[in-house]
Structure 1
Amino acid sequence: MRVAAGLILASALSVALTGAAWSQTPAAKPAGAAQAAPAAAAPAAAPAPAAAAPAPAGFVNPPPPKQAPQPARAACNTPGALGVARTVEIDTTGGPGFGFEHFKELDFLRDHEVVLTFDDGPWPKNTPAVLKALADECTTGIFFSIGKHATYEPEILKQVYAAGHAVGSHTWSHANLNNKKLNEAQRKEEIEKGLSAVKWALGGISPAPFFRFPALQHPPEMVTYLGNRNMAIFSCDIDSFDFKASKPEKVIETVMKKLDTKGKGIILMHDFQKHTAEALPELLKRLKAGGYKVVAMRAKFPASTLPEYDQELLKDIKLPTVSQRPVNSVVTTVSE
């Protein structure tokens, strides 16, 4: 793995102690809770170049929106649960990169510390199962949502946010942004429309400025663009390859084998995958037994969406008209 040199000039981490991917996903909306099988993985990722470049002429990055704080994680009432060892706050100015698969500047994890990350949701059955497993162990993760999936299942994504997990973005349609058939405008649209979709699904609440490229494919110009947008880029240290697993036990075996070799790291999983949802309860127990501790990552400021993409999104999602809605969803008695 090669170093992404010069990503930022100074550390982007302020650490606050607390008490305590490659799948190709379907573009079609799920029918109820039906499970769709992902296609084969994309080729190995290319190293990412530096992101700290001057913003192009005429580019105006909106300031972070002012919004209410995210709900805190529920108090843990489970003795001996995995829990959360500490929380780190991320200043995403300049687009810092995380995960030694591509970025080696910010080595902030201590020995036997892990960050749990989940891509490609929200998805019926599987994402709720992942949320339950995390809640049962009083722990947390980062969810990188595909924009289309967020518009399909906004209530599930709201559950992710309400449970106190960080919500990031993972493009609009999970397009490989290294695809030469995509021009720069189309790549930007994938990033920005995906971010707008996640915000829409959360009821207008801006997600964290955390982004992960589909298939970990990092086009140099898009790394620079995300740096100008003050979006942190997430690679990984440990890829679970859960999309290749034939059974839950294989997911656990892959993660623990790599983790016991490296001693720490950002773990890449997919809440879209059935085997991941099935494996997670036992995997969390194995992490606890192995002396591993979970670190929560939260953003200093929320992401800012671009108005033109917010508007474009509304053309692609079918919002119910008043005539299609039941009366009690339009008119509510609040006092008599």
Structure 2
Amino acid sequence: MRKFAVLAAGCSTLAVLVGLGAGRAWFTLPSKIDAARAPSTSEEITTGTIAARWPTPGGAPPRAAQSPAPNIQPARATADPALNAKPAALPAPAPAPVRQTCSNPNALGISRTVEIDTSGGPGLGMSQYRDYDFLQPGEVALTFDDGPWPVNTPAVLAALEAQCVKAVFFPIGKHASWHPAILKQVIAAGHTVGSHTWSHVNLASKPFAEAKNEIEKGISGVAQSAGQPTAPFFRFPQLRQTPELKAYLGERNIATFSIDVDSEDFRIHKPDQLINGVMAKLKKAGKGILLMHDFQKSTAQALPELLAQLKAGGYKIVFITAKDRVTTLPEYDAQVAPAQPTASTAKPIANVIRTVD
């Protein structure tokens, strides 16, 4: 009887040890829960669509570090294709705005930088869209259409650099394909680049399919000339749109820009008159998104003095950036690819042409 009791006790002990071993093995299985994202820093103030990121001396605003993902073993595939489907790719995040040292102690400078979440295609500019009135009294956002263009766009860039300010550029796809080196200068200087159709036609007068083609070719043409994805920002030529086209841009998560103040530099070609007109309109409006054209010679000539008067008038410059970068569509990338110029084999102009008299 004693032998049976001892044998039973031994079996019980063995069962406990086996159970503990099995429990330990179960608890060491890898977790299948992704690490949570680190919370936003106090330097980033998010309000709906627009997040204000105030300049930080000495560099870009600090961002919270993300926790490393745990070492997760791949799960076995299941028979259900829906469960094995890969998630759709998200838009690539935009790079942090280029922050360059300002060598002008008396420069106008940037008062603050705002970041736009373009999900759903918000409209900005109070002349057409009233949902996001994000500029405070005395704040001005500089925007330029129709470039890039030789001489004029580089002159605009030089004037902006001298005052240490940034702007949003809306290039035409064709112009970008003709002058990709100038567009790359715009990007290298740290400005935001959107798009402005392929050939600057009035989209409101076109059938939807043709207008869509103009929009997408413009986006692809600008991105290819830039050599990188640009901001999901778009401005309608002549500000003429249709509800269907605005909805389409919303589906593409592209923000539509209108204006608050029109410089009318397309018809005012005397720099002093252009400056006086802009300052009078800003005084009346008190703030706003200012429309200019780096395509126009008068704008390039007027801009240094205009920026000086903005500073003298106490205006503050707001730089607009995008949270994400635009995603081009492959079929339109293919359409505009042949328009890209081939590498030039020309000699330096001074080696070919010289003044003799």
Change (3 A) 1:117 1:96: same
2:144 counterpart (107, 115, 118): 118
Shift of 1:74: 1.7
Change (3 A) 1:189 1:253: same
Shift of 1:80: 1.2
2:198 counterpart (172, 181, 184): 172
Q: 1:39-76 deviations in whole A, cap 9, x for unaligned?
A: xxxxxxxxxxxxxxxxxxxxxx9631367x26613210
Structure 2: which 5+ residue stretches go unaligned? 1-46, 58-87, 347-357
Indicate yes or no: 2:41 matched with 1:18: no
2:121 counterpart (95, 98, 114): 95
Match of 1:185 in 2: 209
Q: Give the conservation status (yes or no) of the 8 Å contact 2:93–2:323.
A: no
Indicate yes or no: 2:293 matched with 1:270: yes
Aligned residue type for 2:212: K
Shift of 1:221: 0.7
Match of 1:104 in 2: 130
Aligned residue type for 2:129: F
How do 1:236-275 and structure 2 match up within 5 A?
A: 236-275=259-298
Change (3 A) 1:70 1:16: closer
In 2, the alpha carbon distance for the partners of 1:206 and 1:164 equals 14
Secondary structure in 2 aligned to 1:178? helix
In 1, the alpha carbon distance for the partners of 2:272 and 2:89 equals 45
In 2, the alpha carbon distance for the partners of 1:251 and 1:62 equals 46
Match of 2:165 in 1: 139
Change (3 A) 1:198 1:62: farther
Q: Give the conservation status (yes or no) of the 8 Å contact 1:19–1:85.
A: no
Match of 1:201 in 2: 225
Structure 1: which 5+ residue stretches go unaligned? 1-9, 21-60, 327-336
Change (3 A) 1:97 1:66: closer
Indicate yes or no: 2:321 matched with 1:298: yes
Secondary structure in 1 aligned to 2:289? strand
Q: How many percent of aligned residue pairs carry the same amino acid?
A: 54
Secondary structure in 1 aligned to 2:229? coil
The alignment's TM-score, normalised by the length of structure 1, stands at 0.77
Q: 1:159-211 deviations in whole A, cap 9, x for unaligned?
A: 000100000100000010011xx2211111100000001111111x1010010
Q: Give the conservation status (yes or no) of the 8 Å contact 2:178–2:341.
A: no
In 2, the alpha carbon distance for the partners of 1:317 and 1:207 equals 17
Indicate yes or no: 2:92 matched with 1:65: yes
Q: Give the conservation status (yes or no) of the 8 Å contact 1:71–1:162.
A: no
Aligned residue type for 1:135: E
Secondary structure in 1 aligned to 2:194? strand
In 1, the alpha carbon distance for the partners of 2:96 and 2:225 equals 15
Q: Give the conservation status (yes or no) of the 8 Å contact 2:123–2:257.
A: yes
Bigger fraction of residues in helix: 2
Indicate yes or no: 2:104 matched with 1:78: yes
Q: Give the conservation status (yes or no) of the 8 Å contact 2:178–2:340.
A: no
Aligned residue type for 1:88: V
Q: Give the conservation status (yes or no) of the 8 Å contact 2:141–2:290.
A: yes
Indicate yes or no: 2:309 matched with 1:286: yes
In 1, the alpha carbon distance for the partners of 2:282 and 2:341 equals 43
Match of 1:334 in 2: none
In 2, the alpha carbon distance for the partners of 1:317 and 1:16 equals 36
In 2, the alpha carbon distance for the partners of 1:64 and 1:309 equals 18
Shift of 1:318: 4.7
Larger-Rg structure: 2
Q: 1:303-328 deviations in whole A, cap 9, x for unaligned?
A: 110011001111344545xxx859xx
In 1, the alpha carbon distance for the partners of 2:116 and 2:135 equals 13
Shift of 1:218: 1.1
Aligned residue type for 2:255: A
Aligned residue type for 1:63: L
Q: Give the conservation status (yes or no) of the 8 Å contact 2:108–2:165.
A: yes
Q: Give the conservation status (yes or no) of the 8 Å contact 1:101–1:235.
A: yes
Indicate yes or no: 2:193 matched with 1:156: no
Q: Give the conservation status (yes or no) of the 8 Å contact 1:11–1:106.
A: no
How many residues matched?
A: 271
In 2, the alpha carbon distance for the partners of 1:220 and 1:71 equals 32
